[in-house]
Structure 1
Amino acid sequence: MQIKLIQLQKHGDERGSLVALEEEKNIPFPIKRVYYLFKTQDGVRRGLHAHKKLKQVAIAVRGSCRFLLDDGDEKIDLLLDNPAQGLLIESFMWREMYDFSDDCVLMVLADDYYDEGDYIRSYEEFHALAHGGK
């Protein structure tokens, strides 16, 4: 499994830093939805699903959290802790977010609007689909 971390261009000087997010430039898809997670309680795991079609980029704009990504054959665990770096999450990828720092703000950009029908919420179903054809 290949994981893509997108290096986002950071601009700044003594006044601070700025990162611009632009669809089809540093975000490789049209942005239709933006949401963010914050004040996640200790020990809580978020995500616990895959998407049939949706693509996303996750950015820890503050603090850090860990991601477990699973394509049905391989699992990768990584730390997201750089506000100038985005994690591209392709479709049909199981994801779990955990070990959130107290100050974590995790922003997610998505290529489509919320659609409950696009979710695979059962790991067993995801795993069976991954090995039986998508």
Structure 2
Amino acid sequence: MIEFPVIGSLDIGFISVAENNNLIPFEVKRVFWTYGTPEPIVRGRHAHHETKQIIIAVTGRILVTTEQANGEVNVFVLDKPNQGLYVPPSVWHTMQYTQAAVQMVLASTLYSESDYIREYTKFKAIWSKA
């Protein structure tokens, strides 16, 4: 988990800043966001060969489940806009959202379909050898 600075107060509001500094362990090359995802839908269901990501719940709550190639599973609840979850390459991940959730992702690479591992068995075969 990455804690971004919180600047402001209750009477004027808050701002959090993400810069390429010691908080973000990579150069950000792509930013994307998802919203309006129905609650029963599970998104993600993939890993990456190269891409590093930070997932942020700008609003609402996102349940992120990660699995390492060694089988270690972790579940993270993202519900604070000043927190982000670092997801390195080789980690299978899924996300579930509350109806009003907005997810923003900071990514280390431009989009490339060839970077995605979308089959779970392929993920296990590739990364269990690493």
TM-score by length of 1: 0.91
Query: Which residue, out of 48, 51, 55, partners 2:48?
Result: 51
Give the length in aligned residue pairs.
128
In the TM superposition, residue 41 of structure 1 has moved relative to its aligned partner by 1.0
SS in 1 for 2:32: strand
Once the two structures are aligned, what percentage of the paired residues are identical?
A: 35
In the TM superposition, residue 117 of structure 1 has moved relative to its aligned partner by 0.7
Superposition pairs of residues 29-108 of structure 1, within 5 angstroms: 29-72=26-69, 73-98=71-96, 100-108=97-105
User: Structure 2: which 5+ residue stretches go unaligned?
Assistant: none
Residue 7 of structure 2 aligns with which residue? 11
Aligned partners of 2:94 and 2:35: how far apart in 1? 15
CA RMSD of aligned residues (A): 1.0
Residue 123 of structure 2 aligns with which residue? 126
After TM superposition, where is structure 1 displaced by more than 6 Å over at least 4 residues in a row? none
The one-letter amino acid of 1:91's match is P
TM-score by length of 2: 0.94
Aligned partners of 2:81 and 2:39: how far apart in 1? 21
Instruction: Give per-residue Cα distances to partners, 1:62-88, cap 9 Å, x unaligned.
Output: 011101100122111121111111100
